[in-house]
Amino acid sequence: MAPFYGRLQSLSALVEDYLLVWILLSVALGLTVTDLAVVTGFSTVILAVMIGSISLTLSVEQFSQIGGRAVALVLLGHAVMPVLAFGIARGLGLSPELTVGFVVLGAVTPELVTPVMTELAGGDTALSTTALVVIGVGSLGFVPAVVTVLAGGVTVPTLPIVEQLVVAVVAPMLLAVGLRARWPERVGAYDAHYPGVSATMVVLIIGGVTAANAAVIRSNLGLLGSVIAGVVVLNGLGYGVGFLVSHRAERATRIASVLSVGMRDFAVAAALVIAAGLPTIASLPAVVFGVVEMTTSAGLAKWFDRRE
């Protein structure tokens, strides 16, 4: 069994270490092989596996180390993000469908690898982990609420959004944390593999939603330019908001706040849009954001680490 687990760990590391490359390849493949859009039919399952696998790395001990004020600061920054996303989309004159996509992107959980990036940057990993879980559970009410309030010109079915959040986000997350608490040693023995499984699901869903949007992208490159500009601004403002709400806190807290607010879970946003039956084009901001975020977050983590 040892050689098998060794190969499995090497495969997981290959996916994790070069995730940006895999995402770029997935986007390129989705643009050229439109049949990959069939993957979106399994978006709920993919999302559940993605959330559940990475959540298996979360322990109850991590949550007990954090004070309420630090979490509240991150939550404040998180609450601002969908409003910023809405303002950016409207400012660029994007369609109502794309505006919904931006709002969903701003409202979803921080990126699932935020605790990992926080650790690499020398930040407070326990804070980013706690914020991830609290926001994940709270998304059950937060995401449908902000989409309903901010979406204009598009009829948004909030019940499917709630259903998808329960089935594919909250339930897998709580189940995984519960399993970790019940059998910490047994579950923890495979910690090296969970991020790789989650990363593979990210690559799958991004390829699928790109294929679903391929015709629109190829026929309207000007639209793609506007979306790229919008997500770059949203990502940058997110980092800025994360810094502003925590600028008086300790350095480790500031790093966790910057990454937790600026990094949006693009794969969750893309899968949620598709699974909830929203217009396919609404997933385009999430696809583009994935490429931008993976690049900027890696750069930030290295910059923070060098300044320590």
Q: Which helix (H) or strand (E) holds 112?
A: none
Encode burial over 121-151: b for 16+ CB neighbours within 10 A, e otherwise: bbbbbbbbbbbbbbbbbebeebbbebbeebb
The Cα–Cα gap between 269 and 218 comes to 22
**Helical ranges in 113-220 per DSSP H:** 114-121, 125-150, 158-165, 171-182, 184-188, 194-219
Report pLDDT digits (tens) over 204-255: 888 887 888 788 777 777 788 899 999 999 999 999 999 999 988 888 899 9
Query: What one-character DSSP code corresponds to residue 39?
Result: G
Would you kindly state where each structural domain of the chain is located, as residue ranges? Answer: 2-307
Contact 91, 109 (CB under 8 A): no
The Cα–Cα gap between 284 and 146 comes to 19
Contact 182, 13 (CB under 8 A): no
30 pLDDT above the threshold of 80: yes
pLDDT the model gives residue 299: 81
- What class is the 2-307 domain? mainly alpha
Query: What one-character DSSP code corresponds to residue 41?
Result: G
The Cα–Cα gap between 56 and 277 comes to 28
Contact 263, 114 (CB under 8 A): yes
Contact 48, 167 (CB under 8 A): yes
Report pLDDT digits (tens) over 74-119: 999 999 999 999 999 999 999 988 999 999 999 998 887 787 778 7
Q: Hunting for tokens 């400012």 — which residue is that?
A: 91
Predicted TM-score (pTM) of the model is: 0.79
